[in-house]
Amino acid sequence: MYCPGKANPRYEENVMIDVTLKEMLEAGVHFGHQTKRWNPKMKRFIYGERNGIYILDLQQTVRRFRVAREFAKSVVRNRGSILFVGTKRQAQPIIQQEAQRCGMYFVTERWLGGMLTNLQTVRKSVERLNKIEEMMESGQISRLPKKEVAQLEKEHEKLASILNGIRGLSHLPAAIFVVDPKKEHIAVHEANRLGIPVIAMVDTNCDPDMIQFPIPSNDDAIRSIRLITAGIADAVLDGALESQVQKGREAAVSESSGDTREEEDSEKKSGDEA
């Protein structure tokens, strides 16, 4: 897991490559929902309609995606974290894979109400999960009645599926990235309430007004989800690299300042002795 402010040797070179219009077309990023299933607030992002399906304006998508990636990069460059959220079936493996690739936290099973607004309660659930695992590893659980063991195993399975991606999340993230904000409306609401910026793939049935960095895009197709999510993950990796470089410079300046002070103190001491 990437820890803001800590050196991580994985980040060796810039990886954020601009995604082209052609790549978006090939991934089906431009396909929206049926015209009868739309949110009028998305009208400004719609290019037209074809066979009862809305077509998104990819020129706007490219621009919005670029802005969102620059923001994600700046968040991590300033040593913040981004929580990746996607609980719909086709998004789950992609969200987990890309979040782990760039060292960020993720939620892919179910959004627990209060994951952001009541983080301390969530931390208690994580502590409970850790305690059960300690009992399993130490063999303590084997000394309990079978019924109690079965209950603990069931509890462990449930907690692990929900909390594994946020075990190390001790502070609120600086931003969240969401696939399908309509489905993840609770997460978006909590982020809005706390003033946490939201980056999101917004399809033609979403409300973009709830999103600070909307990326008009197909949030149902696997290739579209992978393209956009991987692009955000690449931006995170670049931000981490820049953070490392900046930290190295700060350390060098600090060391240089310390050497200068030592030299000045030494010269002053020599002058006093003379």
Q: What is the secondary structure of 53-73 as a DSSP string?
A: EEEE-HHHHHHHHHHHHHHHH
Q: Cβ distance 246 to 78 under 8 Å?
A: no
- Mean pLDDT calculated for residue range 160-174: 94
Q: Reply yes or no on whether the pLDDT at 260 is more than 90.
A: no
pLDDT tier for residue 273 given thresholds of 50, 70 and 90: low
d(CA 163, CA 226): 23
Please tell me the predicted confidence (pLDDT) of residue 153.
94
Q: Give the global pTM.
A: 0.84
Give me Rg for the CA atoms of the chain: 24
Beta bridge partners of 54: 49
- The per-residue pLDDT for range 187-226, each reduced to its tens digit, is 999 999 999 999 999 999 999 999 999 999 999 999 999 9
- Report all structural domains of the chain as residue ranges with CATH numbers, in order of start: 21-109+171-273 (3.40.50.10490)
d(CA 15, CA 75): 16
- Mean pLDDT calculated for residue range 142-154: 93
> How high does pLDDT run on average in the chain?
90
d(CA 100, CA 104): 6
Strand ranges across the sheet with 46-50:
31-34, 53-56, 46-50
- Mean pLDDT calculated for residue range 109-124: 93
Torsion of CA 216, 219, 224, 229, to 10 degrees: 80
